[in-house]
Structure 1
Amino acid sequence: MDNTELLIRHNGISIYEQASGKVYYTKEDHMSVVILAKDGDQLLLIRQYRAAVDDYVIQLPGGGVGEGEDLESAARREMLEETGCTCGKLHYLGKLYPASWRCNEIAHVYYTDEVISQADQQLEGYERIDVVRMSVTECLHRIKENELQDSELVFAMMQGLLKGFMQQYKHIVDKRV
């Protein structure tokens, strides 16, 4: 952290500039959770506008971890809020730094193939989220063709395959096209 200057601190976020001119930020609440939910041969994904990239992004349901909230409870809450679905057993796939060059966020990734019930979404007032059901095959194809770029989704699919949760789809990855 040599020659790093604090530019601004606001609402739990601190923005720094390094001597090289590179800018990064840290968040006090830097933990997030996402769930790769498979319902039969379909994945339960979300689509929402992301201002930072000025585009609609297909990604995993998820969000921040509340103060005193454990990771699994946060993952279940976020899935219910964003998709209206609840789930059974969750499997921890690991953690990733979605943008380590830019932010200190740590995303914890879960997998479930037990989508139990569906109700209405319980979105925050500012959220506009569409639920997207996509076949596992289509998702893998779209990742391969670089049509889906969300780092958490790509990480989750990779870990899901590597840890044997979606072994029946391994042949899609093995194809050389």
Structure 2
Amino acid sequence: MNEELTIRFAEREDAADLLRLTKALAADMGRESEVAATAEDIERGMFDKGAGEALVAEHQDRGVVGCAVFCRTFSTWKGACGVYLEDLFVEEAYRGGGTGRALMARLAALCEERGYERLSWHCRDTNEGGLAFYERLGAARVDPLVLHRLEGEALSALAAQAPADAGGSRAGVVAAADGAEGAR
């Protein structure tokens, strides 16, 4: 890794840089228009609500040039916590010099420091450079897993079907199974 780089935890003041890097990642995927977050959203979610964390790679002269955004997970199968890597991005000028590896190594060390047993992430099957990078790290590919997501109208439609408890919230107990037992 470049000697002029430091890996550290992101702070509230890094929210604009995290957004900038997120937009750059989305642009690399041809999806920049899909980024709806603002720096304020990142501050609120990450630093006020504690919904996630980030490591940043900071160049002594250029500022933040890379990030790893992540959150804690829990595996019922392992009975242990882990980390889910949401985004890993390094500016093109700093790729190939060990910056991405340094971010991933620090994230792996963080898992061990916290007693977590797993570090997981998704990588698009069309991202050949990313897949090769992760293989060089020694990561195992879990091909049978398929990412699913509910958002927008589909999320709202399903939420509207949640049973209400006596207090009127949707945290009630489901009385009948819908046949999806064992679905993962």
When normalised by structure 2's length, the TM-score is: 0.24
More helix by share: 2
Tell me which of the two structures has the higher relative contact order, counting C-alpha pairs closer than 8 angstroms and 6 or more residues apart. 1
Structure exhibiting the larger radius of gyration computed from Cα positions: 2
Structure richer in strand, relative to its length: 1
- TM-score of the superposed pair, with normalisation by structure 1: 0.24
